[in-house]
Structure 1
Amino acid sequence: MSDSKYHGVVDRVTNGIAVILVDSLQKQFEMRQQDLPIDAKEGTWLSLTLDNSHAHVLNATVDHTQQKKKQQTIREKLNQVKEQSSKNSKRKRKH
């Protein structure tokens, strides 16, 4: 039996239970907050090892590469919104 690796994000932590979303499986998993990596919090991307049935998280580590990619994507989208907003406000001033 071999385990499966996936990417997931910590969606929320409530009463010491973290909810981790795994889009590629369209599933969510619950883990005790104390079982997460020490620096994991809401919004942190994780590399997950799941059992073969995809029912349980066996291991979770912070996925720094995925974290940086997602942060870069967010920055780019924010810049696009700012640029569009700036263009729209300049158009309004001309009228």
Structure 2
Amino acid sequence: MEKVIREIGGSRGTGLTYKDDDGYTYWKNRQCRMHLTIRCASWRAGCRAKGKVFNSDTSKVFLTTGHETHPENQLALRVGPHYPFSPVRLSRW
């Protein structure tokens, strides 16, 4: 998926920050000779969106993983024995 992004002032010191038209913010993750890899700023909250910005055109990002939710991962979190309403815990009652 291709999106148009713009560079905004980074508050992370050495890191670059980008923003797209949908309101998502991206941080620079890695850089190589041809491109830099960016990831969504809310990756700690579970967003797995990643993409590449090529050095030849820095106004576009090519997302390799989108912003969609991953229900299979959310289900795996809810099945654990410490989740209050998981089927594993309810079967013990």
Question: Which has a greater percent of helix?
Answer: 1
Q: Flag whether TM exceeds 0.5 (same fold).
A: no
TM bracket (short chain): 0.3 to 0.5
Normalising to structure 2: TM-score of the pair?
Answer: 0.37
Normalising to structure 1: TM-score of the pair?
Answer: 0.37
